């Protein structure tokens, strides 16, 4: 008999259960297996009703974020052997409503993403016939890191502010706002700032940077939020000094 590890997973069916419970399964402990492989083992061979999201299995689609032993992780990039001898506990991402087993409701994030206007805003668009907007490698580097966000939402699960204040736009949405603000092709910074200063959320964010610590793509949302605070403060001071056009 191959070596086994105990996999404890959250079970919840809105049709059947009032509260979630934990169910344990013994799964083979294989060196090359990630936590997601263990979940698929259960689904394929033991209990087909276990529900979770996954797709690319290479850490780029952002579907398979879950809490693994209390930490937000991409389960396709988290090896079982790191938790030997076990047990390894897999739960739905914290701070989101649970829809079923390990699946959480993320529409709140999608609404927030749309609100920060994550697209290029320009007063005057250049026609395609005039070619590309020039952007040097250094200019690209100023925002590249923030463009690496895969929307896996581990940062929301780690964020103490989002946990307490669901109106907070949150780390990924702010990092993506900053991704466009820093892009040399964009002119929408003040529009995005207006939206974000309507809520106090960003001021509640501390320097602790839990979001940056858990980010599997090294996006550094905490850095983006600090940049944002600085810009917002500068804009606020400028609006005091130049009330008639400081934001143009």
Partner 1 sequence: MLDISSHDVLIVGGGGAGLRAAIAVAETNPNLNIAVLSKVYPMRSHTVSAEGGAAGVIGPDDTLDEHAYDTISGGDWLPDQDAVEFFVKEAPEELLRMEHWGCPWNREPNGRVAVRPFGGMKKERTWFAADKTGFHMLHTLFQTSLKYNAVTRYDEFYATKLLADDGQVQGVVAIELASGKIQAISAKAVILTTGGCGRVFPFTTNAAIKTGDGMSLAYRAGAPLKDMEFVQYHPTGLPFTGILITEAARAEGGYMLNKDGYRYLQDYNLGKPQPQPVLRSMELGPRDRLSQAFVKEFEKGRTLKGPYGDVVHLDLRHLGEKKITTKLPFVRELCLKYENLDPVKELIPVRPVVHYMMGGVHTDTNGATPLKGLYAAGEVACVSINGANRLGSNSLTECLVFGAQCGRAAADFASTQRAPGRHLLAQAVDEETRLQDQFLRKAGGRERISEIREEMQRTMEQSAGIYRSRDSLEQAAGKLSELQERFRDIGLDDRGHAFNTELVAALELGSMVDVAESIIQCALHRTESRGAHQRTDFPARDDQKFLAHSVVTRTAEGTPAVNYLPVKITRWPPAERVYGK
Q: Which residues bind partner 1 (CB under 8 A)?
A: 13-16, 32, 43-45, 47-49, 51-63, 77, 99-101, 103, 105-107, 110, 113-114, 117-120, 125-126, 128, 131-137, 139-140, 143-144, 147-151, 176, 180, 183, 185-186
In the complex, minimum distance from the CB of residue 233 to partner 1, in angstroms, rounded to a whole number: 26
In the complex, minimum distance from the CB of residue 137 to partner 1, in angstroms, rounded to a whole number: 5
The Cα-based distances of 67 to 96, 103, 181, 197 in angstroms read 12, 11, 32, 31
Nearer to partner 1, 50 or 225 (CB): 50
Say which DSSP state 79 is in. Answer: B
Nearer to partner 1, 43 or 247 (CB): 43
In the complex, minimum distance from the CB of residue 145 to partner 1, in angstroms, rounded to a whole number: 11
In the block, tokens 């599997």 appear at: 216
The helix or strand, by DSSP H or E, that contains position 210, with its residue range, turns out to be helix 210-214
In the complex, minimum distance from the CB of residue 142 to partner 1, in angstroms, rounded to a whole number: 11
Cα separation, 183 vs 93, in Å, equals 31
Nearer to partner 1, 139 or 213 (CB): 139
- Give the pairing of strands 88-91 and 4-11: parallel
Beta bridge partners of 21: 11
């Amino acid at each position: 008999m191959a070596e086994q590890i105990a996999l404890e997973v959250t079970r919840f069916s809105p049709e059947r259960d009032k509260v979630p419970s934990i169910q344990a399964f013994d799964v083979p402990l294989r060196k090359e297996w990630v936590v997601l492989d263990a979940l698929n083992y259960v689904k394929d061979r033991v209990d087909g009703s276990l529900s979770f999201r996954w797709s690319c299995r290479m850490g780029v689609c952002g579907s398979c974020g879950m809490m693994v032993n209390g930490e937000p992780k991409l389960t396709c990039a988290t090896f079982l052997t790191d938790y030997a001898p076990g047990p390894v506990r897999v739960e739905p991402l914290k701070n989101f409503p649970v829809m079923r087993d390990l699946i959480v409701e993320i529409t709140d994030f999608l609404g927030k993403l749309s609100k920060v206007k994550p697209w290029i805003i320009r007063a005057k668009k250049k026609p395609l016939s005039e070619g590309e907007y020039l952007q040097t490698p250094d200019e690209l580097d100023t925002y590249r890191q923030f463009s690496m966000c895969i929307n896996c939402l581990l940062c929301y699960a780690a964020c103490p502010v989002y946990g307490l204040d669901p109106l907070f736009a949150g780390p990924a949405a702010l990092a993506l706002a900053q991704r466009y603000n820093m892009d040399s092709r964009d002119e929408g910074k003040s529009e995005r700032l207006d939206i974000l200063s309507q809520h106090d959320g960003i001021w509640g964010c501390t320097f602790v940077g839990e979001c940056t610590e858990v980010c599997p793509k090294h996006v550094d949302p905490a850095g983006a939020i600090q940049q944002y605070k600085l810009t917002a403060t500068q804009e606020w001071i400028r609006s005091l000094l130049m009330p008639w056009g400081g934001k143009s």
